[in-house]
Amino acid sequence: MNTLFPGGFPLPTAFYLTLYVLTLALHVVFMNYVLAGSAYVMCSVWRARRSLIREGAAVNDDQLARTITDWLPLMLSLAITAGIAPLLFIQILYRVRFYTANLLLFHRWMAILPVLIAGFYLLYLLKKVRTSERPWLPRLTTMAILGCFGFVGWSWTENHLLSLESQAVWTRQYVRHSLFFNSPELWPRLLTWLCGSFAHMAIILMWQWRWGTLPVDSDITAMQTMRRLSTIALGGLTCAVGTGLWYVSTLPTLERGLLMSPLAGPWFAVACTGVAVQVLGWVIGRRAGRPKLSTLIPLTTGGLLTIVGVAVVRESLRLSRVDISTLYEAHASAYTIDGFAAFVAFAVLSGLLVAWCLKATVRGAGSWSGALRSQFGLKVPIASQHVSRYCERRTLMR
């Protein structure tokens, strides 16, 4: 605990901890897009209704919501796929604790599967919803989608917190047959994830804009889009800092001190630096009016620093509660098992083929902005149709 993460642990443990944190960070990138995207689309749909009265605002919401809606199924698929790797490594690292928490939450935990499937299909449904015929449908659908992914996030957080507890707490939980685990850390922690996810989604949307998958037609729209994205990101970061402070206040004093310890302190600084870089990037980039690389690179770097820093701090907090030294032997045993070379070889091969697939698709379809934008054109938008059709009607009425 007195050495910078992941140092200070035996090599096998440090190795699996590193793999876990890195793969978790990758999962978080996609997860954030799904979580924040669902929330944004829901707000956009509700805002579209209010814009009826205000007459035709929210052109930007339109484009953003359309793009997010269109990309959410893919992002969810990638989030699930990327989530498999940390799920594998957590079983190597904390097998008994992870399994025990799963078992204690029982039906409630298993419910994430049908809920996830329902959320997935609702995302596809959302792309097909015709708002003009049944205006309540998109509102209901987006609420259900956010509810599904919120439930999954809530369950994971609860599962994680329960896995950190002692045998005495577990026994109480088991005897009570309780499917819920209340902890003062639960809500601030969950809200910190949720708020932070908006900033990361905004960065990904900036890249989508640059690659042409977020269609922006005019300079005015570009300025509005930039302002909207920076507001989302800065708002998300501000709220995340606030809820983060709330979360820290719920921690025992000893664990609060961990944030300044040699183990996690530097990583906490990395996360804070990442936030600062993002804030600076958005404040400066806000005036740019287009997604310049000079803005995107610091923003992306800041975003990644934040994700990795927070992931390490999260892990350090776990390590402060769990006696991982009892697991060293199991980690060492896993470390000696063959197959790593095969994994590296196939990971490289798959990586190359993934790169080829993307490149060939972009090249073959003309360009992202060509092929994919035309695809967007064919899709039935949600918020956009909702807004524009009502606005049309209002204009006609006048």
- Which residue ranges make up the site for other proteins (CB under 8 A)? 74, 77-78, 80-85, 87-89, 91-92, 95-96, 99-100, 102-104, 106, 109-110, 112-113, 116-117, 120-121, 124, 167, 170-171, 174-175, 177, 330, 333-334, 337-340, 342-343, 346-347, 349-351, 353-354, 356-358, 360-361, 363-366, 371-372, 374-375
Question: Measured from the CB atom, is 16 or 282 closer to other proteins?
Answer: 16
**Residue 221 class from Cβ within 10 Å (0-12 exposed, 13-18 middle, 19+ buried)?**
middle
Nearest to 202 by CA among 119, 300, 289: 300
Report CA-CA distances (Å) from 350 to 98, 319, 321, 342, 361.
Answer: 29, 33, 37, 12, 16
Task: Tell me how crowded residue 242 is: count the other CB atoms within 10 A of its CB.
Answer: 14
d(CA 238, CA 246): 13
Query: How many C-beta atoms surround the C-beta of residue 76 within 10 A?
Result: 22
Q: How far is the CB of 85 from other proteins (least distance, A)?
A: 6
Cβ neighbours around 272 below 10 Å, total: 17
Closest separation between CB of residue 94 and other proteins, Å? 11
Distance of closest approach, residue 375 Cβ to other proteins, in angstroms: 6
Judged by CB, which is closer to other proteins: 11, or 357? 357
Instruction: CB nearer to other proteins: give 283 or 360.
Output: 360
Q: 375 or 395: whose CB is closer to other proteins?
A: 375
Taking the complex as a whole, the smallest distance from the CB of residue 74 to other proteins amounts, in Å, to 5
CB of 248 to other proteins, least distance (A): 31
Closest CB to other proteins among residues 276, 371: 371
Distance CA 149, CA 155 (A): 10
CB of 241 to other proteins, least distance (A): 32
Looking at beta carbons only, is 184 or 366 nearer to other proteins?
A: 366
- For residue 177, is it left (φ>0), alpha (ψ between -120 and 50) or beta? left
Q: How far is the CB of 374 from other proteins (least distance, A)?
A: 8
CA distance 170 to 104: 8
Task: Please give the Cα distance from 219 to 45 (Å, whole number).
Answer: 25
Assess contact for 205 and 229: CB atoms under 8 A: yes
Nearer to other proteins, 293 or 378 (CB): 378
CB neighbours of residue 240 within 10 Å? 23
Phi and psi torsions of 212, nearest 5°: 90, 5
Q: How far is the CB of 102 from other proteins (least distance, A)?
A: 5
Helix spans in the chain (H): 11-54, 59-93, 95-110, 112-128, 136-163, 167-176, 186-211, 219-250, 253-258, 265-285, 293-321, 328-335, 340-364, 373-378, 383-397
CA dist list (Å): 139 to 75, 145, 184: 21, 10, 32
Q: Which is nearer to other proteins, 50 or 128 (CB)?
A: 128
- Closest to other proteins by CB, 144 vs 258, is 144
| Distance of closest approach, residue 210 Cβ to other proteins, in angstroms | 18
Beta carbon nearer to other proteins, 74 or 245 = 74
Report in angstroms how near the CB of residue 297 gets to other proteins at its nearest. Answer: 24
Asked if 201 and 40 count as a contact pair (C-beta separation under 8 A), the reply is yes
Residue 104 or 204: the one with the smaller Cβ distance to other proteins is 104
Burial of 114 (0-12, 13-18, 19+ CB in 10 A): exposed
In angstroms, give the least distance from the CB of 351 to other proteins.
8
